[in-house]
Each structure stands twice: as C-alpha cells, then as structure tokens.
Amino acid sequence: MVSPDIDTETLLANASEDLLSISAIAADLADDVDGSRRSVILALSRMADGVHLLVERAMDRLEVQASG
C-alpha cells in the first residue's frame, strides 16, 4: 500500500528508479538465457525503458508547472 501523504513528484521519482532497476535486472538476466526466453526478457527490459521515459516526462511537466 502507498501512503496517501506522499507527493506526486516523490511517487514518480520512486517509480522512475524502480523502472530503471527492472530494466537492469532484465538486461542482466538476458545474458544468462537463450532463444525465446531471451527475447521475452529483452522485451520486458525495453518496455520498462519506455515506461521510464513516460514517468520522466511526467516529472518534467510537474517541474514546469511548479516553476510557472
């Protein structure tokens, strides 16, 4: 459960760090497997990278709103 008192920027920052960790773990695991399993793991890593970019964009927008 996530505390309702945590601000949006902190939530997004934590999500960003978690996504980077997921991507790194998946990329590392991909080195240990072959074939279709490797493809699935690499796809998971790329998906995490894509979602990470979305979270970073949301953080950028929050920063612009806070400064404007």
Query: What pLDDT score was predicted for residue 9?
Result: 94
Query: What pLDDT score was predicted for residue 2?
Result: 87
| Rounded CA separation 65/33 (Å) | 44
| Rounded CA separation 10/28 (Å) | 27
Q: What are the Cα distances from residue 49, in Å, to 3, 8, 63, 67, 68?
A: 26, 20, 21, 27, 29
4 within some domain: no
58 within some domain: yes
32 within some domain: yes
53 within some domain: yes
Query: Could you tell me the residue range of the domain that residue 13 belongs to?
Result: 9-67
The ranges of the chain with pLDDT < 70 are none
Q: Based on the structure, what is the number of domains in the chain?
A: 1
3 within some domain: no
63 within some domain: yes
